[in-house]
A and B are shown apart, each in its own frame.
Chain A
Amino acid sequence: QKEVEQNSGPLSVPEGAIASLNCTYSDRVSQSFFWYRQYSGKSPELIMSIYSNGDKEDGRFTAQLNKASQYVSLLIRDSQPSDSATYLCAVTKTGRRALTFGSGTRLQVQP
């Protein structure tokens, strides 16, 4: 079982719709959770971080964390073609600062 699992996609949504990206993790001691966006040929850029159960909103993005079910999700409202990218879920564990990444979900926003 992979430590961090994501559906590889592609997830295709029309412009203006809500895109929902999901991620599950296997290790219950995971502490911090991140969503990164990566455009082809570029390095990841941080979109959201979340540390406690519940929702965290930042502009068009909402991260949701459920530690009991061991999943974290990212909602993108009013999706734009420029949101088309691969979205990487990453976690850290207590005492280990390095990130463990999922394989990423490719999002395609259709104009």
Chain B
Amino acid sequence: GAVVSQHPSRVICKSGTSVKIECRSLDFQATTMFWYRQFPKKSLMLMATSNEGSKATYEQGVEKDKFLINHASLTLSTLTVTSAHPEDSSFYICSARDRLAGYSTDTQYFGPGTRLTVL
């Protein structure tokens, strides 16, 4: 159980284009999903918290107009990198928290990640 998928797993795009990444919880419902970014040999950095039915909460320094997040259902959150540039090339990873998990547990389940390369 507790499987999270991401699509696509790998994408190469030209500078200036937009890229959409999907994150799905396959066997549970997630009111909250998280988007992380990881540069080579660095740790995961939280970009934003995605809440079903409401606006995402972005971390300081993350441009909300550049990284558009939509969490339209209890099983799907999308991250759109708009007008991508080479410096946006990174490993984007989502995670999801089970809606039915008690408030005593903060366990998150991670998707397999999406490697974005902007040429």
Q: Among B34, B43, B112, which residue has its beta carbon within 8 angstroms of that of A98?
A: B34
Which B64-112 residues have C-beta < 8 A from chain A? Answer: 93, 95, 97, 104-112
Bound form: Cα–Cα A46–B96 in Å: 13
**A6 nearest CB across to chain B (Å):** 9
- Asked, given contacts A97-B49, A98-B34, A98-B46, whether A45 binds B97 with beta carbons under 8 Å apart, the answer is no
Q: Among B42, B44, B93, B106, which residue has its beta carbon within 8 angstroms of that of A97?
A: B106
**Interface class of chain A by DSSP:** strand
Instruction: Return the chain B residue nearest A36 by Cβ.
Output: B110
Q: Among B42, B105, B112, which residue has its beta carbon within 8 angstroms of that of A43?
A: B112
Which of A56-64, A71-79, A99-107 is the contact stretch? A99-107
- Asked, given contacts A88-B44, A99-B46, A104-B43, whether A45 binds B106 with beta carbons under 8 Å apart, the answer is no
B25 located at the interface, meaning its Cβ lies under 8 Å from any Cβ of chain A in the complex: no
Instruction: Determine whether the beta carbon of A43 is less than 8 Å from that of B110.
Output: yes
Instruction: Determine whether the beta carbon of B104 is less than 8 Å from that of A51.
Output: yes
In the complex, besides A42-B112, A51-B104, A88-B43, 13 extra interface pairs with C-beta distance below 8 angstroms are A34-B106, A34-B107, A36-B110, A43-B110, A43-B111, A43-B112, A46-B110, A97-B49, A97-B97, A99-B34, A99-B46, A99-B95, A101-B44
